[in-house]
Amino acid sequence: MKFKVSVVGAGNVGATTAQRIYEKGHSDVVLVDIVEDMPQGKALDLLESGPVIGTDAKIIGSNSYDETSNSDVVVITAGIARKPGMSRDDLLLTNMKIVGSVTEEIAKRSPNAILVIVSNPLDAMVQHAYKISGFPKERVVGMAGILDTARFRSFLAAELNVSVTNVSAYVLGGHGDSMVPLIGSTSVGGVPVSSLIKPHRLEEIVQRTRDGGAEIVSLLKTGSAYYAPSAASAQMVESILLDKKEILPCAAYLEGEYGINNLYAGVPIKLGSSGVEEIIQVDLTEEESIALKNSADSVQELIEIMEKNA
């Protein structure tokens, strides 16, 4: 029996996420968007790639939520994306309304699903989806850390001319300017990165990671990144469905872990068939702890703005 995955928002991130999941073949996929006929067109195009890819999974597009009923995982990418000069936070109130209404529709029809939130500003959107869905915290999780970490890892691999698979790194905290790359836990082939790259150069790479989303926005001009975000989203979906229990940096609801309370923040988690199965506590330096706390404070500010506008 195949799994059922719904992807809401059939734009750049949603459609590429649906494609990546569909091509794996383990899940039937439902792609939903408010734009008439567009998700149907993209889903049909993907379905017609099946014989070439060699997948017998089904994929359909819809403008209604009824087809999403009883999904195992729902990925929410609906909303507006950044344009040059905008920060993720500029999307807050528009995407809050969109993510709120989508979550309501989904929660009614798939009460046992695990929600993977992708819309930005990520940490605030996942907190909002958690509140609106009424789901347990284990079943509402946000995609950001894998993407930030992948950017960091790819820059480090290019710098040192080594395989990306040999670079292990964690980027924690909010998905924004306050993200916290853990230099002490970053290594290349087991060797600490700080003994391979000089501090000032490492700082430049960290800054490029922080600005990674904006760098793509300024190049694309009409939208934001989607290949790497969809790869990260699909990895989360697969770790859940196949109960892989991968340890991945994701936005999870914290109740005291890392000294953060009642707030979503990017931390390493174990992701399996129950959703967030464990929050992994890594030792932080004092500087990293302060940076993570500051990052949580900026997410809290967004939550307060949302509460005032609810």
**Residue numbers annotated as active site:** 175
Give CA torsion, residues 301, 303, 78, 93, to 10 deg. Answer: -70
Gap between the Cα atoms of 70 and 54, Å rounded? 26
Residue 25 or 100 having the CB closest to ligand APR: 100
DSSP 3-state percent helix, strand, coil across the chain (nearest 5): 50, 20, 30
Q: Which is nearer to ligand APR, 62 or 187 (CB)?
A: 62
**Which one, 102 or 114, has the nearer CB to ligand APR?**
102
Cβ 79 to ligand APR shortest distance, Å? 4
Nearest to 234 by CA among 123, 143, 102: 143
Number of residue whose CB is nearest ligand APR: 11
CB of 143 to ligand APR, least distance (A): 8
Judged by CB, which is closer to ligand APR: 82, or 270? 82
- Round to whole Å and give the CA distance between 302 and 179: 15
Query: What does the alpha-carbon distance between residue 235 and residue 149 come to, in Å, rounded to a whole number?
Result: 13
CB of 99 to ligand APR, least distance (A): 8
Name, in order, each residue with C-beta under 8 angstroms of 248's C-beta and a sequence gap of 6 or more: 145, 146, 235, 236, 239, 268, 269, 271
Q: Tell me the closest approach of the beta carbon of residue 124 to ligand APR, in angstroms.
A: 11
Binding site for ligand APR (CB under 6 A): 8-14, 32-35, 77-79, 81-82, 91, 95, 98, 101-102, 118-120, 223-224, 226, 229
